[in-house]
Amino acid sequence: MEDFGHDRVGNRETFDTRSGGELSYENNLANEYTGIGEQPPLTDVLHDEAGNLISDEDGYGYAYDDQNRLTLAFYDVDADGTHDGGEATLAEYTHDALGRRVEYIDHLADGGPVTTRYRSEGQNVVAEFDDSATPALLRYYAHGSSRSLSQLVGIDERGVIRDMVQDAEYYYYSLADLYTVDEKVAQ
């Protein structure tokens, strides 16, 4: 089981992994992580001027657009938070004019890059499709106490996902006070 420890304002302080390890987190006054690791000294992480994480403790870098939306994940070989020539791209993200993620390209997938397209209802993603000529449904979601969720599974929960690719089972998510995922339960 995984377990997270938070301070009074919701910053993660500890993470107990399934394998029995524990990660510690250090935060600054802007509530940004400044160090993450298994034991002190913790590995430094970098943020841009807007507070976005641009280089993490595992050697990954992140880029954002002018609306602070994640657009790129890459191997940050030199740990400077910039996507330099020769640093491999891991993933790309595209957003629409309303700020919703509409496309994800996984550059590490078997057989080359794989594209997933998202469909939304308001600000919530409700379905994922592949990028084939005849798009296949990969997953669908229902959020909150919405009418569609109640009709779909007959319950009033925070969220549900049905993964059509892995096992076609329903998974229910309950959220903590700060709307972070608290637990995921299979039906």
Domains in the chain: boundaries = 1-44, 46-109
8-state DSSP, 151 = H
- For range 127-138, the mean pLDDT: 90
Q: Which of the pair, 186 or 91, is modelled with greater confidence?
A: 91
pLDDT tens sequence across 152-173: 444 444 466 666 666 666 766 6
pLDDT of 70:
97
pLDDT of 66:
94
- Please report, for residues 32, 44, 73, 129, the alpha-carbon distance to residue 62 in angstroms, rounded to integers and kept in the order given: 15, 15, 5, 24
Residue 85 pLDDT > 70: yes
Residue 146 pLDDT > 60: no
Instruction: Name the phi and psi angles at 88, rounded to 5.
Output: -65, 140
pLDDT band at residue 183 under the 50/70/90 scheme:
low
> What whole-number distance in Å separates Cα of residue 132 and Cα of residue 71?
22
pLDDT of 4:
86
pLDDT tens sequence across 29-72: 888 888 898 877 788 899 999 999 999 999 999 999 999 999 99
Tokens, residue 158: 């925070």
pLDDT of 152:
47
